[in-house]
């Protein structure tokens, strides 16, 4: 999402080169990132690198939201919009197919049957090798999985949700639904919009070249919205473990997310290669059971009463305390 917005093309290409060199494989983008610029930048990277480099990449993109707010029928998960969106993404990428095409968010106005037929058609036509979902709730994921089976269509293989030590509510319904369906999770914002990297301080409104420094009221990551007592407790716990390990706070937060049940890969977003290097180190970091337990305890969002709380754990049938 940073490509073409926070990282211009030369820097984006350096990040992609380093990512693949380090053994990275999944590159995730969307048509709305930079209003198409991210896909164009990635497409030119593919065109300028040898096949033995680009062949290692599992390329994912998404469609759902409008690129032109005034375009009639220019958003949603209808057959019309998704077909046009994927074709436009392939043109920007300069490719005949993507490995993973994702519905960027649920569309309450389009019958899910229509969306699933369309996504299955992309797979059958060879324009996408697999398809996934993003930002779906637990019931929406479960409905999609079972409708696909009932209609004899290809089913989703991934779900991309927001997930971090600061955003754990997906463990109540979405994670169990993904485990039940055999769907892999691809968490976005694993650093909580930068909060878990330790860059923000209590009682000090962010300033400078950070996302909140440039816009303290930025969406769900806004300083006044996310700067709660629970957030500062979590940040301090991450800081303590990072200091004891001699690593960065980002490495601890990323290692925690990557080790959670159902997680297949964790989405990184970096402004520059230096940030990327720090994040990549998390791939080799594994937390102890005690560290997992400490972080789980301090970040517990306080599940509502039965059946989500402690008394309902056995009936829910999945142990999400730690590990995969």
Q: Which one of 33, 101, 130, 131 is the catalytic residue?
A: 33
* Angle subtended at Cα 271 by Cα 94 and Cα 221, rounded to the nearest 5 degrees: 110
Instruction: Identify which of 111, 67, 58, 105 has the alpha carbon closest to the alpha carbon of residue 85.
Output: 67
In the numeric block, which tokens belong to residue 66? 């409008």
In the numeric block, which tokens belong to residue 65? 């939201």
33 is catalytic: yes
Instruction: Identify which of 279, 277, 232 has the alpha carbon closest to the alpha carbon of residue 255.
Output: 279
3-state secondary structure the chain: CCECCCECHHHHHHHHHHHHHCCCCEEECCCCHHHHHHHHHHHHHHHHCCHHHHCCCEEEEEECCCCCCCCCCCCCCCHHHHHHHHHHHHHHHCCCCEEEEEECCCCCCCCHHHHHHHHHHHHHHCCEEEEEEECCCHHHHHHHHHHHHHCCCCCCCEEECECECCECHHHCCHHHHHHHHCCEECCECCCCCCHHHCCCECCECCCCCCHHHHCCCCHHHCHHHHCCHHHHHHHHHHHHHHHHHCCCHHHHHHHHHHCCCCECCCCCCCCCHHHHHHHHHHHHCCCCHHHHHHHHHHHCCCCCCCCCCHHHHHHHCCCCCCCC
Angle at which helix 289-299 crosses helix 229-245, to 10 degrees, equals 160
Give the catalytic positions in this structure: 33
């Amino acid at each position: 999402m940073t490509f073409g917005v926070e990282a211009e093309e030369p820097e984006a290409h350096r990040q992609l080169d380093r990512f693949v060199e380090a053994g990275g494989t999944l590159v995730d983008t969307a048509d709305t990132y930079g209003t198409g610029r991210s896909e164009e930048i990635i497409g030119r990277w593919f065109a300028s690198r040898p096949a033995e480099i680009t062949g290692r990449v599992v390329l994912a993109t998404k469609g759902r939201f409008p690129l032109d707010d005034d375009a009639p029928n220019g958003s949603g998960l209808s057959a019309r919009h998704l077909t046009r969106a994927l074709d436009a993404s392939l043109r920007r990428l300069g490719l005949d197919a993507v490995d993973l095409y994702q519905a960027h968010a649920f569309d309450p106005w389009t019958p899910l049957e229509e969306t699933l037929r369309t996504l299955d058609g992309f797979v059958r036509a060879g324009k996408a090798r697999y398809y996934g979902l993003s930002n779906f709730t637990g019931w929406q994921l479960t409905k999609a999985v079972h409708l696909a089976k009932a209609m004899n269509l290809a089913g989703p293989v991934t779900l991309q949700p927001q997930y971090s030590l600061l955003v754990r509510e997906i463990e109540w319904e979405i994670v169990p639904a993904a485990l039940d369906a055999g769907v892999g999770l691809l968490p976005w914002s694993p650093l909580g919009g930068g909060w878990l990297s330790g860059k923000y301080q209590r009682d000090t409104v962010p300033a400078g070249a950070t996302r909140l420094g440039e816009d303290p009221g930025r969406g769900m990551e806004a300083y006044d919205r996310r700067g709660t007592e629970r957030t500062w407790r979590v940040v301090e716990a991450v800081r303590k473990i990072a200091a004891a390990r001699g690593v960065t706070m980002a490495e601890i937060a990323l290692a925690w997310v990557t080790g959670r049940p159902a997680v297949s890969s964790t989405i990184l977003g970096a402004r520059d290669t230096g940030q990327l290097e720090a994040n990549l180190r998390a791939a080799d970091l594994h937390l102890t059971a005690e560290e997992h337990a400490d972080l789980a305890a301090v970040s517990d969002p306080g599940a509502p009463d039965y059946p989500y709380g402690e008394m309902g754990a056995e009936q829910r049938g999945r142990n999400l305390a730690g590990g995969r």
